[in-house]
């Protein structure tokens, strides 16, 4: 699975949704998908982030009770102001996915449990939404960073449905969180919304959906790393010089490792907490 930069920018351009969610009031800012009204940078003192996704029955179509939704390869990255580096802070393969079936308009934050099954390929599987409800899902724990070091975030997930006749739309998005354990408050003071992508129609083929919290020009200049088969961002573990026995130190050696597989030197980018 993968996504081109042009397609990703389309998913984050006003008015480019492929359908709309049933049961969501048209007055809600995210009813039409991407919009520029979110909290694009973290509030002062905040140190956590949560990537999420949601799937709805497409407006004007019946629910698909026999369908399942599958989500794979979900990742969230934060953008470090000082270095311009994208750093992986949430990974579905390590944290898992959970969630609930919430009422379509989130009135009273009412929901019933959503059973999530981990498939042999690592994907998460759960029921498609029933009439009047959605599928709302997120990682097993929040990503963390040091306060004041982050100026952007990117989340990406692959989604599909098991039923070719299902009429479903999905989006991904992100919230800032005060810290890794702050409780949900009804006024969203602990988790102001950043935003979400446009709505993408799901099919039995995998589709990659992404959201970024910066301008299109800013993202073109510094695109996040996980699109398609690109490598994960690397960190320098150590630098050394090699002695050749005659001419002294002549050659240099640099060791690199993926951020998710090594902990040393992560704090040099201002990160805090476990990945």
pTM more than 0.75: yes
Q: 109: phi > 0 → left, psi -120 to 50 → alpha, else beta; which?
A: left
pLDDT per residue over 110-121, tens digit each? 999 999 999 999
Structure tokens at 135: 């599928």
Q: Looking up tokens 């994907």, which residue turns up?
A: 123
pLDDT of residue 2: 82
Q: Is the pLDDT of residue 170 over 60?
A: yes
pLDDT of residue 238: 43
pLDDT of residue 151: 96
pLDDT per residue over 83-103, tens digit each? 999 999 999 999 999 999 999
Q: Round to whole Å and give the CA distance between 187 and 184.
A: 9
114 exposure class (CB count in 10 Å sphere: 0-12, 13-18, 19+):
buried
CB neighbourhood size of 158 (10 A) = 18
pLDDT of residue 227: 57
pLDDT per residue over 182-241, tens digit each? 999 999 999 999 999 999 999 999 999 999 999 999 999 999 987 543 334 444 334 344
The three-state DSSP-derived secondary structure of 31-91 is CCCCCCCCCCCCCCCCCEEEEEEEEEEECCCCCCCCCEEEEEEEEEEEEECCCCCEEEEEE
């Amino acid at each position: 699975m993968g996504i081109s930069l042009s397609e990703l920018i389309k998913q984050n351009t006003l008015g480019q949704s492929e359908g709309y969610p049933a049961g969501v009031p048209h007055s809600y800012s995210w009813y039409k998908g991407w919009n520029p009204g979110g909290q694009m940078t973290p509030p002062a003192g905040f140190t956590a982030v949560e990537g999420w996704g949601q799937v709805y029955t497409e407006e004007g179509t019946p629910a698909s009770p026999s369908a399942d939704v599958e989500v794979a390869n979900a990742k969230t990255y934060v953008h470090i102001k000082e270095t311009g580096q994208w750093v992986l802070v949430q990974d579905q393969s390590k944290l898992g996915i959970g969630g609930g079936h919430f009422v379509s308009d989130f009135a009273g934050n009412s929901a019933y449990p959503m059973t999530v099954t981990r498939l042999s390929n690592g994907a998460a599987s759960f029921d498609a939404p029933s009439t009047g409800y959605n599928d709302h899902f997120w990682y097993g724990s929040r990503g963390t960073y040091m306060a004041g070091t982050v100026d952007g975030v990117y989340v990406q997930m692959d989604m599909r449905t098991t039923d070719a006749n299902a009429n479903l739309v999905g989006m991904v998005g992100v919230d800032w969180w005060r810290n890794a354990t702050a409780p949900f408050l009804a006024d969203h003071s602990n988790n102001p919304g950043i935003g979400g992508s446009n709505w993408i129609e799901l099919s039995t083929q995998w589709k990659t959906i992404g959201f970024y919290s910066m301008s299109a020009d800013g993202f073109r200049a510094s695109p996040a790393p996980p699109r398609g088969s690109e490598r994960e961002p690397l960190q320098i573990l150590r630098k050394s010089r090699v002695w050749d026995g005659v001419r002294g130190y002549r050659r240099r050696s640099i060791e690199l490792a993926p951020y998710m597989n090594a902990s040393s030197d992560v704090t040099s980018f201002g990160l805090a907490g476990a990945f």
